[in-house]
Chains A and B, each alone.
Chain A
Amino acid sequence: MSRVFRKWVDEYQDQAWTLARYLLKDPAEAQDACQEAFVKLWNHQDSVDPEKIRPWLMKVTRNGCLDRLRRRHPTEELQEWHQPDVVRGPMQGMQQQELGDRLKSSINGLKEPYRSLVVLRDIHQHSYEEVAAVLELNLPQVKTYLHRARKQLREQLAEVRP
């Protein structure tokens, strides 16, 4: 069983990590959240459908992150995920990399469940059904919320474009 678990770690740790990083921003806390999720997976490995390990794990990771966010002090400010040493040039010369950083920052600024939706669907490339299962939404909701989230991102990016 331990071998199977290690396989799950290899397959899903990056996705759990990315989701936790987007939600929590703090790398140390994201690591703790990931570890908690995988400990739960270990403890429930017999009851989880092997075909649905990924959505189960993403759901547990997300819920753990949201619990941590709720426990945080409301005034606590966290450093943005993107590298702080990125030099922002003049808007006219903004390169694709900088736009990517800006997009990442904009995703970080989205509220839930929009942020998780964008991460799971647009970055992790999960299917709509899988995203719906993780976020406990129905398909029309997933599509509607995703549309809204993308609209917000487009608007924010348009503001910084020349």
Chain B
Amino acid sequence: MNNENWNDDAQLDALMEQLTVEKAPASLTRRLKAIPREQGRAGSRWSWLTPPQFPRWAMAPAFAAIPLLVVAVMLMQPRQPSAAEVEQARQDLIVAFTYMDKVGVRTGSEIQTILGSELRRGVKDTLSEHLPFTEQSLKEETT
């Protein structure tokens, strides 16, 4: 065999055939086959249908705890208010809203007063500069 023989793929292919897929070591096989056990059933879509892998002795106390859990959850539920409490809350709410309304109206009128006087002063000052008679007419108006 000389160098020219390497120019075609046939020689290489013949050599390639020697290179087969290597068998995985037994230690790797053991590690891979242990994956389902180690990873649990978390990855399975139907995991919620299958019973978890608890020891049998642990199942009885677990089932006994279920009614206790239900009672505890019921006790922790918020208490329903009585009709009188609901009525009282409604009245309180009405008072609160009425107060807020009044405050809103008063605040609005104060804003309007302040803004109005400011606007009037601004307009008056500007006009006085250019039209002196405006000052006089305003004085007359006020008297």
Contacts and interface: CB of A to CB of B under 8 A. Distances in A.
Contact of B24 (A14, A122, A157): A14
B28 A34 contact: yes
B6 A9 contact: no
Contact of A158 (B6, B13, B16, B20): B6
A103 interface: yes
A123 B16 CA distance: 7
A42 B39 contact: yes
Nearest to A154: B6
B21 A18 contact: yes
A31 B13 CA distance: 28
Contact of A154 (B12, B32, B33, B45): B12
Interface residues of B, number: 33
A2 interface: yes
Main secondary structure of the interface of A (DSSP, over half): helix
Contact of B43 (A9, A17, A46, A150): A46
Nearest to A44: B43
Interface in B77-106: none
Contact of A31 (B15, B16, B23, B28): B28
Contacts of B21: 14-15, 18, 123-124
A150 B9 contact: yes
A161 B6 CA distance: 9
A158 B6 CA distance: 6
A137 interface: no
Given A13-B29, A35-B35, A38-B32, A154 B16 contact: no
A100 B13 CA distance: 11
A107 B12 CA distance: 12
Contacts of A155: 6
B3 interface: yes
B95 to A, nearest CB: 59
Given A6-B33, A35-B28, A39-B39, 18 more contacts: A2-B36, A5-B35, A5-B36, A9-B29, A9-B33, A14-B22, A14-B23, A21-B22, A35-B31, A35-B35, A38-B35, A44-B43, A96-B18, A103-B12, A122-B16, A123-B16, A123-B20, A150-B12
12 contacts: A2-B36, A17-B23, A21-B22, A31-B27, A38-B35, A42-B39, A46-B45, A100-B18, A153-B12, A158-B6, A161-B2, A162-B2
